[in-house]
Amino acid sequence: MPSLKFEDVRISYSTFEKGGRGTVEAVRGVTLDVPEGSTIGLAGESGCGKSTLAMSVLRLLPRNARIDGRILLGEESVADMGWRRLRAVRWTEAAIVFQGAMHSLNPVQRVGDQIVEALVLHATGSREKYRERAEQDRRVAELLQQVDLPKSKARSYPHELSGGQKQRVMIALALACEPEIIIADEPTTALDVIVQAQILNLLKQMVRERGLSLIMISHDLSVLASTCERIVVMQQGKIVEEGPSAEVMSNPQHPHTRALAAAFPTIGDWSSRLALPTYTSPEAPGPNGPGSRPAPDLTEISSTPTGLLSLTDAVIAVRGVTVSFGRGDRGHVAVDDVDLTCRPGEIIALVGQSGSGKTTLARTILGLQQPTSGDVMYRGRPLSTRRKGLKDYRSRVQFVLQDPSAALNPRQSVYEAVAEGPRLHRLPGDERDIVAQALADAELTPPEKYFQAIPQELSGGQRQRVVIAGALALGPEFLVADEPVASLDASVRAGVLALLLRLRCERGLGALVITHDLGLAWNIADRVAVMYRGRIVEHGTVEDVLLDPQHEYTKRLLSVVPSRELRERPTGETR
């Protein structure tokens, strides 16, 4: 089994912009050893160079990339490999579990055929037996069994699989030609906590049973700590900290490592309860770079916004709502007899694994899905089914979609995206002022700088803020936010969560936040509702539900998330 070594590796990209040609240095002088059978986690924010470094192992970088230094697989330099040798190394000696299974799998090809394709193209030496059809079928069934999928899934198309099942197929693909090194690039991003735990356990099992070397990439230190022996932290292309996982987590030395750890609130940590998430990145690249803005003076927010103590009427009340699809024996109940009350200025976290009915309930609350039975009430009145009534309601209750890339028209400027709502609702006032104020409220300043920008010119966090600005432009009193930070890295996530808390404090804006992240619920929510198989199985204050869970499903959710030893609440503290 080959070891992997990086010796003073520098990777740069040639760029061409209006001002002429330039160079972006993505990796700067990295030296790292990955011994045989070891597990190493690469941590850092988006753009720190961790994925660039990992992709360089198999020369999977674009043509405008230049690699200096040496990358050694065993005693062999990757740079000196000819095309035939490189193709033989890919998948057989080292393989990659790519980020985003939805985009990595061919949507028009059955997953079994995609595994066979890898066998046909890359099986060499003792693995050439996999070129025979009978062996291919046997190998596909064997691989699916290894990743806990029934062999019948080989005939499924990607869209017929859940997110966790697609990720398992990606792992099966990586294992197809029996590689000795696995590189997993954000393998659990945007997966719910239970599926995430299953994927991490699967990777650990593969390492243990087959003696694989594993390089895992993530912006979440807790994910790496639960899987890898060592953690390597990168910032701006450099390694800033390296050591055993337990040591890095319990006693981080570099400010960037401490910032990464603090950006993901831990259940039971009272210092992060209803506090503005802050992220301070040392050596920020510029005045507008991630983490370059100072932390605000206000770091803690009351659980009840000022001026709303006397308001007891519910903004939204869900009463006995059931939503089912299909009829008879083939019917599926997505939401089953749910009751939920959303009060003014309150943040409620709706948690549960994928498929539990959270998004269907949100769509029903917004009037995008008709309930099979039950009622959605707004300010004490049943939600209108007439077009005008729904239009008025949606100006007061706005939706923040999970994926800003899908929510924004790629050909539409930021100005047009934010102005769309005010135009549709014929909002009085100067349109330019309304758009500018909405962008400023979403902390995109100066707003005029973003007017003509298109989505592809913005970072993930900026795109999410544009979506929030579009919702704020109508002056709503309540937001329904579907996984608003699921795939964002540390500093961006902290900024978006801080924005939601500031809006609640300054404008009394309430929110129903759909999430699978219980740490997020601990950080920003007043109450939490746990959904399981379409029903709310537990509901109460965040402290009661997350620190003293009663339902077995809630206990199961909490058992698979990182948590520090629960400390007693400080004497006299009120929340």
The per-residue pLDDT for 187 is 87
Write out pLDDT tens, residues 350-400. 999 888 899 899 999 999 999 999 999 999 999 887 888 888 998 999 999
pLDDT for 311 beyond 70: no
Check whether residue 453 and residue 378 sit in a common domain: yes
Tell me the mean pLDDT in the region 235-248.
94
The per-residue pLDDT for 572 is 40
Check whether residue 437 and residue 464 sit in a common domain: yes
Q: Is residue 551 part of a domain?
A: yes
Write out pLDDT tens, residues 403-459. 787 789 999 999 999 999 999 999 999 999 999 999 999 989 899 999 999 988 887
pLDDT band for 295, please (50, 70, 90 cuts): very low
Rounded to whole angstroms, how far apart are CA atoms 12 and 22? 10
pLDDT for 56 beyond 50: yes
Which of 122, 148, 177 corresponds to the end of one domain?
A: 177
Write out pLDDT tens, residues 502-558. 889 888 999 999 988 888 899 899 999 999 999 999 999 999 999 999 999 999 999
The per-residue pLDDT for 412 is 93
- High-pLDDT (> 90) share of the chain, %: 50
Token digits of residue 175: 């294992």
Q: Is residue 271 part of a domain?
A: no
The per-residue pLDDT for 565 is 37
The CB density around residue 29, as the number of other CB atoms within 10 Å, is 15
Q: Are 470 and 400 in contact (CB under 8 A)?
A: no
The per-residue pLDDT for 275 is 65
pLDDT band for 279, please (50, 70, 90 cuts): low
Check whether residue 482 and residue 541 sit in a common domain: yes
Q: Is residue 574 part of a domain?
A: no
Q: What is the SS3 assignment for 94-146? A: EEEECCCHHHHCCCCCCHHHHHHHHHHHHCCHHHHHHHCHHHHHHHHHHHHHH
Check whether residue 137 and residue 239 sit in a common domain: no
Q: Which residues of 259-277 are buried (b: 16+ CB within 10 A; e: fewer)?
A: bbbbbbbbbbbbebbbbbb
The per-residue pLDDT for 228 is 94
pLDDT, greater one: 401 or 412: 412
Q: Is residue 293 part of a domain?
A: no
**Angle between helices 460-472 and 431-441 in degrees, nearest 10:** 130
- E strand intervals along 304-432: 316-325, 332-342, 347-351, 373-378, 381-382, 397-400
Q: State the total domains in the chain.
A: 3
Check whether residue 168 and residue 197 sit in a common domain: no
Of 127, 94, 124, nearest to 1 by C-alpha is 94
Q: Is residue 46 part of a domain?
A: yes
Q: What are phi and psi of 451, to 5 degrees?
A: -50, -50
Check whether residue 18 and residue 54 sit in a common domain: yes
Write out pLDDT tens, residues 65-85. 999 999 999 899 999 999 989
Check whether residue 43 and residue 186 sit in a common domain: yes
Check whether residue 251 and residue 344 sit in a common domain: no
Maximum CA extent, the chain: 75
Check whether residue 478 and residue 521 sit in a common domain: yes
pLDDT for 215 beyond 80: yes
Tell me the range of 223-227, 320-324, 326-330, 460-464 where mean pLDDT is highest. 320-324
Q: CB neighbours of 267 closer than 8 A, spacing ≥ 6?
A: 518, 519, 522, 546, 547, 558, 561, 563, 564
Helix (H, G, I), strand (E, B) or coil at 344: coil
Write out pLDDT tens, residues 489-500. 777 777 888 888
Check whether residue 199 and residue 155 sit in a common domain: no
- High-pLDDT (> 70) share of the chain, %: 88
Rounded to whole angstroms, how far apart are CA atoms 437 and 459? 21
The angle at the Cα of 425, spanning 457 to 359, to the nearest 5 degrees, equals 65
Q: Is residue 297 part of a domain?
A: no
Check whether residue 173 and residue 227 sit in a common domain: no
Distance of CA 387 to the CA centre of its chain: 35
Rounded to whole angstroms, how far apart are CA atoms 116 and 130? 8
Q: Is residue 276 part of a domain?
A: no
pLDDT for 121 beyond 90: no
The per-residue pLDDT for 20 is 64
CATH number at residue 70: 3.40.50.300
pLDDT band for 306, please (50, 70, 90 cuts): very low
Range of the domain at 244: 4-93+179-262
pLDDT for 276 beyond 80: no
Q: HSE (CB half, 13 Å, CA atoms) of 308?
A: 20
Preceding peptide of 562 cis, ω within 30°: no
Task: Report the predicted TM-score, pTM, of the whole model to 2 decimal places.
Answer: 0.77
The per-residue pLDDT for 354 is 80
Check whether residue 169 and residue 184 sit in a common domain: no
Residue whose entry in the numeric block shows the structure tokens 């060499």: 124
pLDDT for 348 beyond 50: yes
Q: How far is CA 387 from CA 384, 390, 393, 426, 432, in A?
A: 8, 5, 10, 15, 27
Q: Is residue 510 part of a domain?
A: yes
pLDDT band for 335, please (50, 70, 90 cuts): very high
